[in-house]
Structure 1
Amino acid sequence: MPGTVLLLAASPVGRGRLVDAASVLPVLAAVDPAVLSGTDTANVVELADPLEPQAVLTRLRAAATAPGPMTVFVTGQLQLDRKQHLPHLALARTTPATVRYTAFPWAWFREELRLRAPGTTTLLLDLHTDAETWQWLRAHPLDSGRTNAVYGRIAPPPARRSVAVPSYMKAVATILRSGWRPPVDQLHQQAVGRLGAEGYADVVLAAPGSVGAGSVGASVPGGSAPRPPSALKGPRPQTPDGLKNAGGWEDDRRHRNESDPHGAITDAVQAGRHADADALAAEHEQAAVRAHGQGSEEALHWIEVRADLAMLAGDPVRSCRAWLAVAGARLAAGQAADAPAVEAAVDRAHHQWGQIHQPARARELGPELAELRSLVPGRRAGALDHVQQHLVQLQLLG
């Protein structure tokens, strides 16, 4: 029975573009359709920077009704609409103010694929996020359907005034151009391995089709079940009594600040008030320390929030230092070196260390990272070697 392949690459035109999504399509289009599908023959539908969500829905619906295996390759960026704060795939005309009308609701993937036979649908995703969506993912899994196999990565916002490359999907396409499609979990593992240090900050999606597999968080490459990353989950402590607006927020936002600190922090980040966002998170961190103790999950959650805020503010030194502190605290508390939260903290410290462009600051943090990497090698081969080799290069720079 022939398979069906949907190639969808979309990102806004202009300043709102976070990733050059369409750049991957020529590489994918060069792959034999049967290899893309993993079947003897396949029909391929390609959507490059579509303009209208209804046009995407029409193509998705038609592809979903075809019998046989279906593989969906999605490259692009996630954004939240301002009314319901739900994730959408941004399209060519999407702006932050028009997400609800010009972007493709992520829930439509789930709805259109839900009637397909279990085990017949695979999604391969290379998604980038803006700051608001990255924060939203702390508390909300990306639901792609309970019976669909979902693999890929969700990347944090790129550096300011830069456009990211869909490296994961390009790696997938390069592997497939060999003319053979390995089992999808192996394909995913090989693609993640090619990302190197670039991918340490990502949410890695590896969820075979099974109950609950569509609500995916991070997992080890090729793993058998999803697991949320420490950076994107955790307790959401109640706002301390008497919390005042930080940084001069308007009075009409006071209720939101008190009831939803994560929302208030996101507001500040979106407005470019990075210092205000960190100050509010620091206030909650101190409240968590007073209420639960220095190494409590509640306190560590807020340190992780501040580490992400430093990344969003373009301060990899502060972000790396925070992730190192989280990893050290978790190990000191007796958590295993292969515990998901420990590995996630060291991976993110490693990624941020690689973003430091001042050799002296990188040399300062490198030995601590190397020591942690010797204890927590992670799931990707060569991580400790990468740190040690980079340290040698930094020493040569003086």
Structure 2
Amino acid sequence: MLITGENRESPAPGTALLLAAAPAGKGRLIDAASVLPALAAVPADVLAGTAGTAAATVIELADPLDPQTVLTRIRAAAASPGPLHLYLAGQLHVDRKQRQLHLALARTSPATMRYTALPWHWLVGELKIRRPGTTTVVLDLVADTEAWQQVTGGRLLFGDGTRMYGRIAPAPGRRTVAAPVHLKAVAAIWRSGARPPLQHLHEQAAAQTASEDAPDGALLFGITPSNAPSNASAHAAGSPSGHPAGHTAGPVHGYAAVPGPRIAPPPTGGPDPASADAHPASPAAPGADPHPAILAAARAGRHDEAAAAAASCENEALRAHGPGSVQVLHWLEVRADLARLARDPARSCELWMTAADVRLGRQQTPDDPDVEAAVDRAHHQWEQIRDAARARQLAPALVALRRRVPGRQRGALQLLQRRLEQLHDHHAGTAPSAPAR
């Protein structure tokens, strides 16, 4: 179905692509297409991010069958020079042979994954060629066990210059079909007439779904390009580039943003490999999961309270399971992400580096997805530090860590060293000159 908005003159019309897909029958984990009527009721220019500024086109793909057809539609949408908003509802799986991430389509089954599902790297490849700052991806996905491991390991990135919002949850229990609750909440907010900035929109939607659903350990995404200024986290509604009015997007030069937050219960799939009798358990009081309350405090701006609660949980885990345990490591990473939410990138960088060091000390390899993710997050947070002196102070440890863990983004170490040189050059150029003799 093709819906075209009012034909206003604009040099860069916007495009919204709505892709909702899930296998038919017992393989269905989410009723993805159920969100399409709600989204279709939203004005086209709002969906495309051009409200009041440009024309808009909405392309809707409901339970498509063929991955090549889907790729063709994505490629055509990505070729448009104007803003692109891609809305994805569905489920993620990993194929048996190449262990690659796929978005399931209507005919997908475990045996036919490589031929009937959309490879995730196809989607990433089409969006990478777009001009930075013009692409927004909104996710409402569930992931089976193997796909969830890749998602939480940071294998879902679209690259620098692409904003990403929404949620990915682990697959529901047997005989349970999830609903795309985040996208439905977004559509409901827009249909009410409200037009909050993108960051606020998705925070409101996440708060609504958290109150409606039991905690499911979902990952929440709210990522902006790494060259955005510190006050650009709330995007102006109707701005084609997603940047606040008056801000011009320049070339993206920083390290790619990484998923967050990681404030979710620790994995429960097996014992701590560092301890034969250890078992993942929340360090909270019996029967009480502290994660929802901590996340709620952070979202409400009570960052000191959230950090103190997480530190208390870490101390309890330390007493119960010992240093280097998976439980202590989990709470260390929670504290790192709480620092990010509190907009303290230096502290977040420091904690993520500590987490990476702990993982390496547990004999995890430098190419382990969790080790790479910790270093990537430390690197990204370092890029956000506005205090040049503090950035220079943290840089030697980060450079040493990045040499051990180069990661999967080519040139990450070179990017880090280049920015460090710029910081040193700037510092030398602004240092007071010595008095004349």
TM-score class, shorter-chain normalisation, is: 0.5 to 0.7
- Cα offset, 1:124, TM superposition: 0.5
- Cα offset, 1:338, TM superposition: 9.4
Partner of residue 205, structure 1: 221
1:13 aligns with 2:29: no
Counterparts of 2:91 and 2:202 in 1: how far apart (Å)? Answer: 19
Counterparts of 2:193 and 2:291 in 1: how far apart (Å)? Answer: 44
- Cα offset, 1:144, TM superposition: 1.9
- Does the CA contact (< 8 Å) of 1:230 and 1:344 recur in 2? no
Partner of residue 359, structure 1: none
1:23 aligns with 2:34: yes
Looking at CA atoms only, which structure, 1 or 2, has the larger radius of gyration? 2
Post-superposition CA distance 1:144-167 (Å, at most 9, x none): 222200011001111211101110
2:314 to 330, 334, 338: 330
- Does the CA contact (< 8 Å) of 2:218 and 2:264 recur in 1? no
Partner of residue 65, structure 1: 79
1:111 aligns with 2:97: no
RMSD: 3.5
- Does the CA contact (< 8 Å) of 1:120 and 1:148 recur in 2? yes
Provide closer, same or farther for how the CA distance between residues 121 and 323 of structure 1 changes in structure 2, counting only shifts above 3 A: closer
Write out aligned runs for 1:194-273 (5 A).
194-197=208-211, 198=213, 199=215, 201-210=217-226, 211-213=254-256, 216-219=258-261, 228-229=262-263
- Cα offset, 1:179, TM superposition: 3.5
1:288 aligns with 2:304: no
Provide closer, same or farther for how the CA distance between residues 232 and 106 of structure 1 changes in structure 2, counting only shifts above 3 A: farther
1:117 is paired with a residue whose SS is coil
Write out aligned runs for 1:369-380 (5 A).
none
Counterparts of 1:191 and 1:27 in 2: how far apart (Å)? Answer: 14
1:303 aligns with 2:287: no
- Does the CA contact (< 8 Å) of 1:138 and 1:232 recur in 2? no
- Structure 1 residue runs without a partner (length 5+): 220-227, 234-276, 308-316, 346-398
- Does the CA contact (< 8 Å) of 1:207 and 1:213 recur in 2? no
* Larger relative helix fraction: 1
2:209 is paired with a residue whose SS is helix
1:120 aligns with 2:134: yes
- Does the CA contact (< 8 Å) of 1:9 and 1:47 recur in 2? yes
- Does the CA contact (< 8 Å) of 2:92 and 2:147 recur in 1? yes
- Cα offset, 1:331, TM superposition: 3.5
- Does the CA contact (< 8 Å) of 2:16 and 2:47 recur in 1? yes
Provide closer, same or farther for how the CA distance between residues 209 and 342 of structure 1 changes in structure 2, counting only shifts above 3 A: closer
Letter in 2 for 1:203: L
Partner of residue 168, structure 1: 182
Write out aligned runs for 1:342-381 (5 A).
none
- Cα offset, 1:344, TM superposition: 8.8
Counterparts of 1:164 and 1:212 in 2: how far apart (Å)? Answer: 34
Post-superposition CA distance 1:97-153 (Å, at most 9, x none): 111111001111211011111100000000101122223334343122222000110
- Does the CA contact (< 8 Å) of 2:145 and 2:171 recur in 1? yes
Provide closer, same or farther for how the CA distance between residues 56 and 187 of structure 1 changes in structure 2, counting only shifts above 3 A: same
Counterparts of 2:199 and 2:291 in 1: how far apart (Å)? Answer: 32
Aligned residues: 267
Partner of residue 6, structure 2: none
Counterparts of 1:218 and 1:78 in 2: how far apart (Å)? Answer: 18
1:75 aligns with 2:59: no
Counterparts of 1:157 and 1:209 in 2: how far apart (Å)? Answer: 29
1:66 is paired with a residue whose SS is coil
Counterparts of 1:165 and 1:195 in 2: how far apart (Å)? Answer: 11
Counterparts of 1:136 and 1:66 in 2: how far apart (Å)? Answer: 30
Provide closer, same or farther for how the CA distance between residues 338 and 192 of structure 1 changes in structure 2, counting only shifts above 3 A: farther
- Cα offset, 1:67, TM superposition: 1.5
- Does the CA contact (< 8 Å) of 2:150 and 2:156 recur in 1? no
- Cα offset, 1:27, TM superposition: 0.3
- Structure 2 residue runs without a partner (length 5+): 1-11, 227-253, 294-309, 320-327, 339-437
Provide closer, same or farther for how the CA distance between residues 168 and 94 of structure 1 changes in structure 2, counting only shifts above 3 A: same
2:26 is paired with a residue whose SS is coil
- Cα offset, 1:178, TM superposition: 2.6
- Does the CA contact (< 8 Å) of 1:331 and 1:342 recur in 2? no
1:36 to 47, 55, 63: 47
Counterparts of 1:179 and 1:41 in 2: how far apart (Å)? Answer: 19
Provide closer, same or farther for how the CA distance between residues 91 and 180 of structure 1 changes in structure 2, counting only shifts above 3 A: same
Counterparts of 1:159 and 1:327 in 2: how far apart (Å)? Answer: 32
Counterparts of 1:323 and 1:191 in 2: how far apart (Å)? Answer: 16
1:193 to 204, 207, 218: 207
